[in-house]
Amino acid sequence: MIRLSLAVLAVALAAPTFAQDATLARISGPVSVLAEGGTRFVKAKGGEQLLFGDTVRVGKGGIAHLTLRDRGAVLLREESLLTLQGSPRRTTLAVKYGEFLIGLKKTLEAGQTFKVRTPAAVAAVRGTLFWGKSDKADQSTAYAGFGHVVAVTAQGKTVLVEPGKTVTVAFGQAPADAVPSTVGLEYANHFAVEEDLQGLGDLAETDKLKK
């Protein structure tokens, strides 16, 4: 009985380490976290471990960097609200409002999915660097691609956003056609905290993403 109890205790103590789904790696300004099932946001200090179901809120003037284990990173600018959903193999980032830069460092394997859901549209990728913004006022969404194709779907229509292109989606409407983007790679610097971009700067410079 004693051995069994010790074994159970060891597993329980180890569980949080394996349960970690993301890390709030670096922050600047007002950032807070709402744990799944919680009732209030708690001020973040940076370094917090996040689980699917948790929500990150970035206040005015703030920036938050989320790292997704070894898969990549999500950078949020001020006045953003994001909830982690799904699982490591089928991940959805629910962005109620705000601006983000997302980079996946390797192509997803068969059976894996990675999506970003806003009130206006859903974007699906296999592995790439891309920018997006969900407007808090009118709930419209815009996406810009830097690497591989980003598939943006709304109201039953899908538009493929190639590198150097942007697509906009008005709330309740199908996506417009993709057009040349005004959001360049240099815009990524707006997401930096002390010149750190969680490796997304290097990702943007690879030949793979320039194709």
- Domains contained in the chain, number: 1
3-state SS assignment for residue 56: strand
Q: Return the pLDDT at 9.
A: 36
Considering the domain boundaries, does residue 27 fall inside one? yes
- Asked whether the predicted pLDDT for residue 172 surpasses 90, the reply is yes
pLDDT > 90? residue 208: no
Is residue 13 situated within a structural domain? no
Q: Is the pLDDT of residue 204 over 70?
A: no
CATH number for the domain harbouring residue 58: 2.60.120.1440
The token pair that represents 37 in the structure block: 């099932």
Residues 56-63, mean pLDDT to the nearest whole number:
98
How far is it, in rounded angstroms, from Cα 195 to Cα 158?
35
Does a structural domain hold residue 161?
Answer: yes
Measured between alpha carbons, how far is 159 from 161 in angstroms, rounded to an integer? 6
Q: Does residue 156 lie within any of the structural domains? A: yes
- 185 occurs within a structural domain: yes
Q: Is the dihedral of CA 73, 150, 55, 186 positive or negative?
A: positive
Confidence label for 74 from pLDDT (cuts 50, 70 and 90)? very high
Would the pLDDT of 207 be above 90?
no
Cβ-based burial of 173 (10 A; exposed 0-12, middle 13-18, buried ≥19): middle
Of 26, 60, 56, 54, nearest to 43 by C-alpha is 56
**pTM given for the model:** 0.86
As a whole number, mean pLDDT of residues 159-171 equals: 96
Residue 93 is predicted with a pLDDT of: 98
As a whole number of angstroms, the distance between CA 79 and CA 98 comes to 6
Q: What is the pLDDT of residue 121?
A: 98
Indicate whether 5 belongs to any domain.
Answer: no
Question: Is the residue at 197 inside a domain?
Answer: yes
Mean pLDDT (the chain) is 88
Number of C-beta neighbours around residue 183 at 10 A = 19
Per DSSP, the three-state class of 29 is: coil
DSSP letters along 92-153, please? EEEEEEEEEEEEESSPPPTT-EEEEE-SS-EEEESS-EEEEEE-TTT--EEEEESSS-EEEE
Domain that holds residue 169: 22-210
In a domain, 159, yes or no: yes
Distance in angstroms between the alpha carbons of the first and the last residue of the chain: 61
